[in-house]
Structure formats: structure tokens, C-alpha cells
């Protein structure tokens, strides 16, 4: 179980470090054999895809699926999932997700410069819960990349 926790932490750090587009977000979710749900409200209305399988077989509808409460994994599937809102602008980006990512980034920069800890939750009134993970991704990436 300890290795599983370390694996998820490492995957989360890697996914934050390599987030390349402002509108893309990622979640790492894993199963140790039994079914597990990783919270992502409205995942069934998002474009959820396996970005990288970390362990096991992650076959859609067998090893993983998305429902209204999150990403569900089963049968030992551990993976990094990318997701974005299903509704997109004419250039293919989700305008709301991009805006929340940018807002999170600005808050992360401000907090780092103010010598505050990396805790996007202190800005909970600044984002819609549907886009909390997108805001968090922007916040964390920019907080980590800002020099004091």
C-alpha cells in the first residue's frame, strides 16, 4: 500500500510538471484490485481519456469509466487521466476551463510572492467547484514555477 501511495504522488507531480495546455487537466486514479472512485464531479459530461497507464490494464468500461461523481477504476488499473469539458469554443478549447486555469495561475504566483504555502484551497470562493481541479492545476504549476 505504501508503494501505491508513492506511485500516485509521483504520478501527480509528473502530471503537474508536464501540463502543456492551459485548458487540459489531469487526475491520477488507481485501484489495488477493488473498485475505487476518484472525485471529479461531472466526469461523465467531460472528455476523459487515459493519458498514461501506470499499472495494470486500463480498458474503458472494464478497468475504468467515468460517472457523475468521478473517474472509477477497477481490476488493478492505475493511470493518469486527462479530461476537459465537453463543451468547447470554436478553436477546440473550453473557455471556462482556460479562464479558471489562468485565474489559478495568477493566484499561485501571488501566493508564492507573498511567501504563502502552496494551498489553492484558500481561494475556494474564486472558482466553481466544477472547475476546481483545473484551477488547482494552474495554481500548483505557477506556484512551483515562480521564484520568490
Which helix (H) or strand (E) is 26 found in, with range? strand 25-30
In a domain, 90, yes or no: no
Total residue count of the chain as it appears in this document? 148
- Burial of residue 128, with CB atoms counted within 10 A of its CB: 0-12 exposed, 13-18 middle, 19 or more buried: exposed
Check whether residue 68 and residue 140 sit in a common domain: no
Check whether residue 124 and residue 56 sit in a common domain: no
Residue that is last in its domain, among 59, 83, 107: 83
Return the SS3 of 78. Answer: strand
Which helix (H) or strand (E) is 1 found in, with range? none
* pLDDT digits (tens), the chain, 148 positions: 455 555 554 444 444 444 433 346 899 999 988 899 999 988 888 889 898 999 998 888 889 999 888 999 999 999 999 988 665 444 555 667 788 888 899 999 999 999 999 999 998 888 777 788 888 999 999 999 988 7
pTM score: 0.45
Q: Give the number of domains in the chain.
A: 2
Amino acid at each position: 500500500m505504501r508503494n501505491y501511495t508513492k506511485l500516485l504522488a509521483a504520478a501527480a507531480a509528473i502530471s503537474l510538471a508536464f501540463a502543456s495546455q492551459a485548458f487540459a487537466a489531469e487526475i491520477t486514479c488507481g485501484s489495488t484490485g477493488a473498485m475505487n472512485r476518484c472525485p471529479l464531479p461531472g466526469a461523465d459530461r467531460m472528455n476523459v481519456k487515459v493519458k498514461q497507464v501506470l499499472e495494470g490494464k486500463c480498458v474503458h468500461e472494464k478497468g475504468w469509466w467515468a460517472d457523475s461523481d468521478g473517474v472509477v477504476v477497477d481490476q488493478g488499473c492505475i493511470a493518469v487521466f486527462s479530461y476537459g469539458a465537453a463543451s468547447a469554443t470554436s478553436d477546440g478549447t473550453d473557455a471556462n476551463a482556460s479562464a479558471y486555469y489562468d485565474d489559478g495561475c495568477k493566484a499561485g504566483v501571488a501566493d508564492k510572492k507573498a511567501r504563502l504555502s502552496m494551498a489553492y484551497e484558500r481561494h475556494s470562493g474564486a472558482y466553481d467547484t466544477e472547475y476546481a481541479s483545473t484551477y488547482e492545476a494552474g495554481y500548483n504549476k505557477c506556484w512551483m514555477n515562480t521564484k520568490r
